């Protein structure tokens, strides 16, 4: 008989580790202990089950050919034993035993192990808000959560839904709620949506898109209480009251690290501490998935980054090492992607806000542009923000959002971040090009070019937020809008200090512009604005007074006159 390997947790990391070690070491005796009634399911597909795109919740438990990954499947195909409805309650490291309890009858037994894997995942955050235990308040984490929430959507006494938290889970559930006919409110304590993923200026286009679909956003507002007679009827926030027949609580997850901590295994604020081999402080115990801390490859610090993709990688590496291999997991870049009401959102690395909090000096670029050449049918806008370290040019992060294609670009950026690349490396990346897919210079390369220009002193740029602050302070400057008259009819800034000169006339009319004031050049996306700034410098204007509006009027999130 081979070594005894016990795996605690049966969703992503645990089954992956169990099956991997069994493939590499068939003699190993492997048992998975799972508290719930299902094993090896795709929890990230739950919003799409609610929406109806996944017709049956059981589809989230099947292989690509439709075979259900149940206890019999794991025994017959994988050679792994599975104990469902079985909770691991304690670990005795000296005896090398795990005490488990049947959740239905309470019976306990001790499982001996030679090696142990902790893959206990995470749990939804449920803060002690008055009324939080009222009927009608749901979380979304497990298959049973999904089934209960879908049933609740069908049987709710009214059509008022409140989503608490504008993070990934909450925003991904907007579509199923709207399709089910609910009036949807989102309450977010922080000032903007997806605050863990985006800078505020990038969140603004997303928030405008969400509200255009009829969702009511309450950002910068926290929940004070839930009220109702046995069942939730109202959400009382710090600023208002909202009628609620259904509440989705989606304010994040916490690592399930309690069993490890109780056993004396080193843990931190963000989960179980592991080394590059995913070993805990006990060399015979490994851990992975949502219950562990991750290492941020950009900052060099520990972070909490629960992702199904990472959990599966952890499982493979743990399985390798259980079989005697020498595999490592170096860390994550914080990469993520989602689709919110037809709006794609992606991020990798760190935001400008994160970088400045780390004490870094940064250069950034805002680059809204079509995802393929303008002459191609079906080209769609994407907003891109790139963040780089000022003195080294090291790429720190990229955010992309819009109806256009974002996945290939964010994956390319993630690969660059993993290698410690600079903006120059980004420019030199040999990205594929053909008009059906991208411009000749991909949006990612253009974003790097903008930062290169800033670094090399070819342009000075203000962000929209910086320009808005100048307006609010009453500073004396002028906007130079170099778009065509037709474009001005469609959209323009509503300020008295805007001068309109089409780009082709800037050289001829440059002398009409004031030389004693700052001139902030702009166009639709600031490509022509950059040309105008260079022309003014060539005409003898003080370079210190010629600036560019980053991202142009498309990225301007404040007042605009629109006649589309």
Q: Is 410 exposed, middle or buried (0-12, 13-18, 19+ CB in 10 A)?
A: buried
Residue of 44, 291, 333, 523 with catalytic role: 44
Q: How many residues does the chain have?
A: 564
Residue intervals of the chain classified under CATH 3.50.50.60 are 4-41+59-123+254-322, 137-251, 336-455
DSSP conformation letters of 263-292: TT--EETTEE---TT-B-SSTTEEE-GGGB
CATH number listed for the domain at residues 137-251? 3.50.50.60
Q: Which token pair is 559?
A: 């007042």
pLDDT value of residue 394: 97
How distant, in Å, are the alpha carbons of 26, 416, 493, 499 from that of 561? Answer: 69, 39, 6, 15
367 classed as catalytic? no
8 Å CB contact between 122 and 287: no
Q: Is 551 exposed, middle or buried (0-12, 13-18, 19+ CB in 10 A)?
A: buried
Q: Is 415 exposed, middle or buried (0-12, 13-18, 19+ CB in 10 A)?
A: middle
If one counts every other C-beta atom within 10 angstroms of the C-beta of residue 346, the result is: 26
Backbone angles phi and psi of 308, in degrees to 5: -60, -35
pLDDT value of residue 564: 61
CATH T-level fold of 4-41+59-123+254-322:
FAD/NAD(P)-binding domain (3.50.50)
CATH T-level fold of 336-455:
FAD/NAD(P)-binding domain (3.50.50)
The upper half-sphere exposure of residue 255, i.e. CA atoms within 13 Å in the direction of its Cβ, equals: 28
Q: Is 509 helix (H, G, I), strand (E, B) or coil?
A: helix
Q: Torsion-angle region of residue 67: left (phi > 0), alpha (psi -120 to 50) or beta?
A: beta
- Distance, in Å, from the CA atom of 450 to the CA atom of 552, rounded to the nearest integer, reads 13
Nearest-5° Cα angle at 454, 452 to 457: 105
pLDDT value of residue 319: 98
Q: Is 524 helix (H, G, I), strand (E, B) or coil?
A: coil
- Distance, in Å, from the CA atom of 113 to the CA atom of 100, rounded to the nearest integer, reads 13
- Bridge partner list, 98: 91, 111
The upper half-sphere exposure of residue 124, i.e. CA atoms within 13 Å in the direction of its Cβ, equals: 21
- Distance, in Å, from the CA atom of 64 to the CA atom of 500, rounded to the nearest integer, reads 58
Residue intervals of the chain classified under CATH 3.40.250.10 are 461-562
pLDDT along the chain (564 residues), means of 10: 92 97 96 95 93 92 91 94 96 97 94 98 95 96 95 95 97 97 97 95 94 96 96 96 97 96 96 98 97 95 93 98 96 95 97 96 95 93 97 97 96 96 97 95 96 93 94 96 94 94 96 95 94 95 94 91 79
Residue with tokens 């889970």: 169
Task: Spell out where 167-227 has E strands.
Answer: 183-188, 216-219, 223-227
How distant, in Å, are the alpha carbons of 131, 159, 184, 186, 245 from that of 155? Answer: 21, 10, 16, 21, 10
If one counts every other C-beta atom within 10 angstroms of the C-beta of residue 263, the result is: 18
Q: Which token pair is 50?
A: 């609610």
Burial 531-550 (b: 16+ CB within 10 A, else e): ebbbbbeeeebeeebbbbbb
CATH number listed for the domain at residues 461-562? 3.40.250.10
- Distance, in Å, from the CA atom of 121 to the CA atom of 332, rounded to the nearest integer, reads 17
- Distance, in Å, from the CA atom of 523 to the CA atom of 274, rounded to the nearest integer, reads 50
Q: How far is CA 1 from the centre of its chain?
A: 45
Nearest-5° Cα angle at 75, 72 to 79: 165
Question: Given the DSSP bridges, would you call strands 234-237 and 241-243 parallel, antiparallel or unpaired?
Answer: antiparallel
52 Cβ contact partners less than 8 Å away, ≥ 6 residues apart: 176, 179
């Amino acid at each position: 008989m081979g070594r005894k390997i016990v795996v605690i947790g049966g969703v992503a990391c645990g089954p992956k580790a169990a099956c991997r070690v069994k493939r590499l070491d068939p003699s190993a005796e492997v048992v998975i202990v799972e508290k719930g009634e299902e094993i090896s399911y795709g929890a990230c597909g739950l919003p799409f089950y609610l929406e109806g795109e996944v017709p049956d919740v059981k589809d989230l438990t099947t292989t690509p050919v439709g075979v259900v990954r149940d206890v019999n499947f794991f025994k017959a195909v994988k050679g792994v034993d599975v104990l469902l409805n079985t909770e691991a309650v304690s670990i005795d490291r000296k005896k090398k035993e795990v005490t488990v309890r049947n959740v239905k009858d309470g019976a306990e037994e001790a499982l001996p192990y030679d090696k142990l894997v902790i893959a206990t995942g995470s749990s939804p955050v449920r803060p002690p808000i008055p009324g939080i235990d009222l009927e009608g308040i749901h979380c979304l984490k497990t298959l049973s959560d999904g089934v209960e929430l879908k049933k609740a959507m069908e049987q709710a006494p009214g059509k008022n839904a409140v989503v608490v938290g504008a993070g990934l889970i909450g925003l991904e559930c907007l579509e199923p709620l709207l399709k089910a006919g609910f009036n949807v409110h989102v309450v977010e304590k922080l000032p903007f949506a997806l605050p863990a993923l985006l800078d505020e200026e990038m969140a603004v286009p997303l928030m405008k898109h969400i509200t255009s679909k009829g969702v009511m956003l309450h950002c910068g507002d926290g929940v004070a209480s839930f009220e109702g007679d046995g069942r939730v009827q109202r959400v009382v926030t710090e600023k208002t009251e909202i009628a609620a027949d259904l509440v989705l609580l989606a304010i994040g997850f916490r690592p399930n690290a309690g069993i490890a901590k109780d056993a004396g295994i080193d843990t931190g604020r963000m989960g179980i501490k592991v080394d590059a081999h995913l070993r805990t402080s006990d060399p015979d115990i490994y851990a992975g998935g949502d219950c562990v801390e991750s290492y941020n490859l950009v900052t060099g610090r520990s972070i909490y980054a629960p992702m199904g993709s990472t959990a599966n990688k952890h499982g493979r590496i743990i399985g390798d090492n259980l079989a005697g291999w020498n595999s490592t997991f170096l860390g994550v870049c914080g990469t993520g992607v989602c689709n919110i009401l037809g709006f794609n959102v992606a991020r990798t690395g760190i935001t400008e806000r994160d970088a400045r909090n780390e004490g870094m000096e940064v250069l950034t670029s805002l680059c809204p542009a079509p995802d393929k050449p303008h002459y191609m049918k079906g080209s769609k806008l994407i907003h891109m923000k790139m963040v780089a370290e000022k003195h080294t040019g090291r790429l720190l992060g990229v955010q992309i959002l819009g109806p256009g294609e974002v996945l290939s670009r964010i994956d390319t950026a993630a690969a660059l971040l993993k290698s410690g690349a600079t903006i120059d490396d980004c420019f030199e990346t040999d990205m594929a090009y053909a008009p059906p897919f991208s411009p000749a210079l991909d949006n990612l390369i253009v974003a790097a070019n903008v930062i290169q220009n800033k670094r090399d002193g070819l342009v000075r740029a203000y962000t929209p937020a910086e320009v808005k602050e100048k307006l609010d302070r009453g500073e004396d400057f002028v906007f130079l809008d170099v778009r065509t008259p037709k474009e001005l009819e469609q959209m323009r800034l509503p300020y008295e200090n805007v001068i309109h000169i089409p780009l082709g006339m800037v050289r001829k009319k440059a002398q009409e512009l004031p030389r004693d004031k700052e001139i902030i050049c702009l166009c639709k996306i600031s490509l022509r604005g950059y040309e105008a700034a260079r022309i003014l410098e060539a005409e003898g204007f003080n370079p210190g007074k010629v600036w560019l509006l980053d991202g142009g009027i498309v990225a301007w999130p404040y007042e605009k006159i629109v006649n589309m």
